[in-house]
Structure 1
């Protein structure tokens, strides 16, 4: 298992990827049906209970309980959760790096 600092070093954001857009992230979380597993404030149909609730996500120190809660690392988690935790039950949903940045921006805005 990689250490937190090792993960942070291996997941540097691509220089051509812009910071995420909060409203676009909200729409994408709905589009990718993240609410089937997670309760997500601001997304009416997002009432899932299989995954952890994502309210006040921006106040968390760690994303997925494993890595520092930054936009870049959270986006990496969204794109390929198994690369960061092979035992996770969260599926890779096919989001692009930029879409994941938008979703991360929305989640980090939840205070």
Structure 2
């Protein structure tokens, strides 16, 4: 333990410790930023698994013929998400993770997606034109 304290002491060690803490916070929070690892094919599976089609009509998704929520078959060409945010991968991922935090009183339920599932679902929805 004494050696570890020496490595983290001083300006260089403090800088490393702050960087490490920042990295751990990103990993621990599920870092919801879309990135090169988001996968539209996995996103389609996420949408099926969470039964998004029970409320939304989504062409190309089995049994996605719901009429409670808006149709999502051309979601990628929409300008806005829920009338509140510009349509982008970051914003859509944020919305999918917590709809109520984006639009107060939103009727879309929180599906308790992981950051990866939200990124993948966003990647799939953004392909729909």
Q: TM-score range by the shorter chain?
A: 0.7 to 0.9
1:101, CA displacement in angstroms? 0.5
Hey, what's the Cα distance between the residues in 1 that align with 2:64 and 2:93?
19
Query: Which aligned pairs between 1:64-103 and structure 2 lie closer than 5 A?
Result: 64-103=82-121
Q: Any unmatched runs of 5+ in structure 2?
A: 1-30
Hey, what's the Cα distance between the residues in 1 that align with 2:60 and 2:83?
23
Q: Name 2:35's counterpart in structure 1.
A: 18
| Structure with more helix by fraction | 2
Hey, what's the Cα distance between the residues in 2 that align with 1:36 and 1:15?
25
Q: Could you say which structure has the larger radius of gyration? A: 2
How well do the aligned residues superpose, as a CA RMSD in angstroms?
1.5
Query: Contact 1:26/1:42 (CA < 8 Å) preserved in 2?
Result: no
Q: Name 1:41's counterpart in structure 2.
A: 59
Query: Which aligned pairs between 1:48-63 and structure 2 lie closer than 5 A?
Result: 48-63=66-81
